Amino acid sequence: MRYETIHNLQIPKIGFGTWTIGGRGSADPSLDEKSLLALRSALELGYTHFDTAENYAAGHSEELVGRAIREMGVPRESLFITSKVEPNHLQYEQVLRCCADSLRRLRMEDLDLYLIHWPTIGMNLPETFRALNQLVREGRVRHLGVSNFNLKLLKQAAALSETPLLTNQVPYSIPDREYVKKGVLEYCQQNDILLTAYTPVKPRFTQGNHALKELAQARGVTPAQISLAWLTTQPRVITIPMSFNPQHQKENLAAADLLLSAEEMEQLDRMIA
């Protein structure tokens, strides 16, 4: 596994996203066993960064993540746990309460990383960061970040955070480069902020792009692994793919060690959806 070393941290290039673990917009207990099997498999394979949120399955995702970690007996200090506060909970007292609720569901004493999940029109960002900074001072959160922030908002957030802003989590993949086109990645790389790519693999694109398939075949890997390696080869970029399939989880994790050449990166850079 390759890592990004930033602000005295070593963060895996590839983590495990938990959207759809335990449900989607609401909890779906019928998915519990499938979800726990996926989390246990990921832990057994060696994933250490788990990314969840209070609105994933209405908090049930956090409950299942915490349960799987306890049942597997994985030491908390060996893991990097991220969660997020949703956009309608960005007032000072709400942020404090929501973080406490996330910790209760995870049954943990602190979060390694806490993000604003989405910006919202009319939000009072200074008030939100007053609460986030308070959480860091109290030791309930170690690092702060944002998600889905454009360049203007990202700069505002970086200025308001009392500790170095750790990440901006955005959709980023070979066919989806909207945030990069608008300067977000360049700003992150120039200011020691990680760009965390979610939805890093677009199945329709990977299955239908012949050049991508040829490159994968030449490397003896899957198109999905090439898609992930395109991200992790870039400095200051990490990613959080998700799969219920243990074999796909293994392949995703292995993609972190696949370093693409400058020629291969250029070839992939030229691809469009």
Where in the sequence numbering do the catalytic residues fall? 56
| Rounded-to-integer distance, Cα 163 and Cα 181, Å | 27
Distance from first CA to last CA of the chain, Å, rounded?
29
User: Is 146 exposed, middle or buried, given 0-12, 13-18 or 19+ CB atoms closer than 10 A?
Assistant: buried
Structure tokens of 123? 């939000």
DSSP string over 60-116: HHHHHHHHHHHHHT--GGG-EEEEEE-GGG-SHHHHHHHHHHHHHHHT-S-EEEEEE
Residue 266 backbone phi and psi in degrees, to 5 = -65, -40
